[in-house]
Chain A
Amino acid sequence: MLRQIEGSQAIAEVVAMCRPEVICAYPITPQTHIVETLSAIVKQGRLKPCEFINVESEFAALSVAIGASAAGARAYTATASQGILFMAEAVYNASGMGLPMVMTVGNRAIGAPINIWNDHSDSMALKDAGWIQLHAETNQEAADLHMQAFRLSEAISLPVMVCLDGFILTHAYERVDLPTQDEVDAFVPPYVPRQVLDPEEPINIGAMVGPDAFMEVRYLAHHRQLEALEYIPLLAEEFRARFARAAGGLFQTYRAQDAETIVVALGSVNGTIKDVVDTLRGEGVRIGSISLCSFRPFPTAALAEALKSARRVITIEKSLANGLEGDVAHDLRLSLHGRTTRLNCVIAGLGGRPITRASLTRVFREAVEDRLPALSFLDLNMEAVNRQLEHERAAPAESILASMYASSSRP
């Protein structure tokens, strides 16, 4: 049913229809309305059987999800920003033990300095923790990805993060076609666990593994990520056949068929990018874009194929590996290996800075005219940066604010 609904609420409705049996959450900033809405749904008795567990921290939230999954329950939690960092050890445990579960990450920046706004540095901090990471472009896709995430997680026995941009999507009201319970039941059948902790037949999971077998365990985890590369497109295809709309998959392309320049990005900024692509296409620029859904596993081979006719690739990235470049560009180099394709990495939107059509249009033009450096920062106030560099004498980085506003606050 079509609804005009807040992103967080749409996700909560779909998650509830996926019938998780345990939902654990730590209800404090940086939490979203997702678990708040789910707690109301459980309280109203709309989701049965389900235990909603208010835990004492994010570390406990994921630890309880691990316990629930090990006991054979379908488990769900959500977090963001410092919250995911606080559960980091458990994040590795969940994937290391091969326990299926779904966790929504409403992507936000990480402090210090304190910043509550959107970028991708939280999920990027745990990109190699062994989880699947899927990114949503719209709230419709975010809702749809949750159905696929439970299927995927349980099919390959790995935990899945569904990432969507904090505030930009989680707090946006837009049109979402919510499925019916019957449709979700048909797509997401009951969970049949591969391993279950049972007091009648005790087993040990996550036990000590010495140097004789640890490499093999890690190799198997690597192998399972690669298996997901095969399964994710099949799942997206099945979803499309059932629901008559595209969602998920490794990535989705936009006007990229004959494009000389292809923009690659994660998440909601792809919407703005598509509008800019249309504008530039109108001017005769052969440009297209790729909305990358599956960041982990990274679809190296499929991207190599999709980018094979491109002369130039631009990544728009909301995270930065200090001293290197954006995480997408870094991984994309494998897809472009041995080619002369030019790669422009553009860091944008850190800490919630708006990514505007005007600024994207400008950098895409610069890239097409070969005037954009390999690494650039969208709308960076270089004047403020240089002033700070000049004056920096062991001062904390946030004193940059004082220098930016000094002139305006004096009479």
Chain B
Amino acid sequence: MFQVRIHGRGGQGVVTGAEMLSVAAFLEDQWAQAFPSFGSERMGAPVMAFCRIDQKEIRSREPITDPDALVIQDPTLLHLKSTWEGLSARGYVIINSARAISDLGISDHTRQLPEDHVFAAPATELALKHVGRPVPNAALLGALAAVSGCLRLESVEAAIRHKFPGKVGENNIEAARAAHAMAVNALAGPGVGAHA
């Protein structure tokens, strides 16, 4: 089982992110379960959504407390202790930031992780460029697919198209591809970290 926890702020689309992730997994004939953290969600408040992916039916319903991957939509959440809670020692972290990982002041949390498991994608910038709005989901999912290998990029693209048919979806797919390519380049290169 591969468990992803998405952290963001109310209005940034954590639930949509988890939903698209689950659809992408479904399109690869896997089982997936996505659900929000069930708060009384307010714009701007820290919120979470969860996605489990497995080769068999997923029966447990508890929130994800031991994630294999974190997707952090808003870098202001990096300094909340709860954001990092339970992350596996072999876990992956995808952060929405145009800055290098080493500039984010999170070494206490990432020190034990393999270097190539932590990646900062300039998702907001990519969204503004391709979509015209600061919606980081697509780019972050593209980066997650590249860094973790939990999904193929084509599945992520199909999930985005499923959720947002038409032009909006195609623009988001461009953002996902761009972030995916950045992550692939960074993985191939000497150090990981986006310098957009």
Please give the residue numbers on chain A whose beta carbons come within 8 Å of chain B beta carbons, in ascending order.
2, 4, 6, 116-118, 165, 167-168, 171-175, 268-269, 271-272, 274-275, 352, 354-357
Contacts and interface: CB of A to CB of B under 8 A. Distances in A.
A165 B35 CA distance: 13
Interface string B28-39: 000111111010
Contact of A271 (B22, B31, B35, B59): B59
B63 interface: yes
Contact of B61 (A6, A116, A175, A269): A269
A171 B35 contact: yes
A271 B56 CA distance: 13
A173 B32 contact: yes
Contacts of B32: 4, 173-175
Contact of B62 (A2, A167, A173, A355): A355
A4 B22 contact: yes
Contacts of A167: 35-36, 38
B133 to A, nearest CB: 23
Contacts of B15: 171
B73 to A, nearest CB: 18
A20 B33 CA distance: 29
Given A6-B19, A171-B38, A173-B18, A357 B31 contact: no
B38 A272 contact: no
Nearest to A3: B26
A231 to B, nearest CB: 29
Nearest to A2: B26
B60 A357 contact: yes
B60 A275 contact: yes
A201 B57 CA distance: 55
Contacts of A168: 35, 38, 61
B60 A174 contact: no
Given A4-B32, A174-B32, A272 B62 contact: yes
B125 to A, nearest CB: 28
Most buried by A among B15, B60, B61, B65: B61
A10 to B, nearest CB: 13
Given A271-B61, A354-B63, A173 B38 contact: no
B34 A172 contact: yes
B38 A275 contact: no
B82 interface: no
A123 B106 CA distance: 47
B22 A272 contact: no
B33 A172 contact: yes
B11 to A, nearest CB: 17
B192 to A, nearest CB: 30
B58 interface: yes
A189 to B, nearest CB: 32
B60 A173 contact: no
Contacts of A173: 18-19, 22-23, 32-35
